[in-house]
Structure 1
Amino acid sequence: MSTVPLYRFAHARAGDKGNRLNIALIAHRAEDWPWLAAQVTEARVLALFAHRGATAVRRHDLPGLGAFNFVIEDVLQGGVNGALNLDGHGKSLSFHLLSLPVEAPAPD
């Protein structure tokens, strides 16, 4: 096992609606989905976005697609039109999720 950033094993797409962030996380290889599911939990994602005020995370599993959908509440500091920060909308935050460290299994 080695600790690596999540982006080595997945890519992401994001969007926002109001103060809610939606991130689709897609494994590069379907066979990596089970161990990613064990590590990229709602609790870890909530902790990763806590500095932005996130209050809840829901993960929807899509094993047939090798993907997850994360819905993160109250993370956009009031939403794109209400926040005073620069570029605080969802699309700029997908790579933050991809920076999450994961324990990758040794290659076969």
Structure 2
Amino acid sequence: MQLGDIAHLRTGDKGDISQVSVIAYDPADYALLLREVTVDRVLTHLATLTVRRATRYELPGLGALNFVLEGALNGGVTRSLALDAHGKSLGAQLLDLPLRGTIGDPS
């Protein structure tokens, strides 16, 4: 199972910071997101980025996690030579994150 099987994402950016929100389709899967979608796993999955600092915010009322990735945009939209300087493809790439566990598993 991959993250995209149980969640969708929204992304945004400001300067050199990318924000990725992971939102469970079903609130019952929020526990699985909490357990599996950690800062370490996100950074490992997006290993080509040079993130200075990553912070995960938990939003249980929304069944969502919000990741703020400082330095992820290689200088920001106007300074980067990256093809996707806005970081929109980060969300698509993160949807391929493999998950261990089963849907609806609260453990």
Please confirm whether the aligned pair reaches a TM-score higher than 0.5, indicating the same fold.
yes
Which residue identity is paired with 1:73?
A: E
- C-alpha distance in 2 between matches for 1:39 and 1:52: 20
- C-alpha distance in 1 between matches for 2:76 and 2:40: 22
Corresponding position of 1:30: 27
Give yes or no for contact 1:49–1:75 (8 Å, CA) kept in 2: no
- C-alpha distance in 2 between matches for 1:41 and 1:35: 11
Normalising by structure 1, what TM-score?
0.88
Normalising by structure 2, what TM-score?
0.89
- C-alpha distance in 1 between matches for 2:28 and 2:48: 32
Q: What SS does the corresponding residue of 1:103 show, helix, strand or coil?
A: coil
* Pairs aligned (count): 105
1:90 matches 2:87 = yes
Runs of 4+ in structure 1 over 4 Å off? none
Corresponding position of 2:58: 61
1 or 2, which has the higher helix percentage?
Answer: 1
1 or 2, which has the higher strand percentage?
Answer: 1
Identity across matched positions, percent: 44
Please, which runs of 5 or more residues in structure 1 have no aligned partner?
none
- C-alpha distance in 2 between matches for 1:107 and 1:33: 8
Please, which runs of 5 or more residues in structure 2 have no aligned partner?
none
1:45 matches 2:54 = no
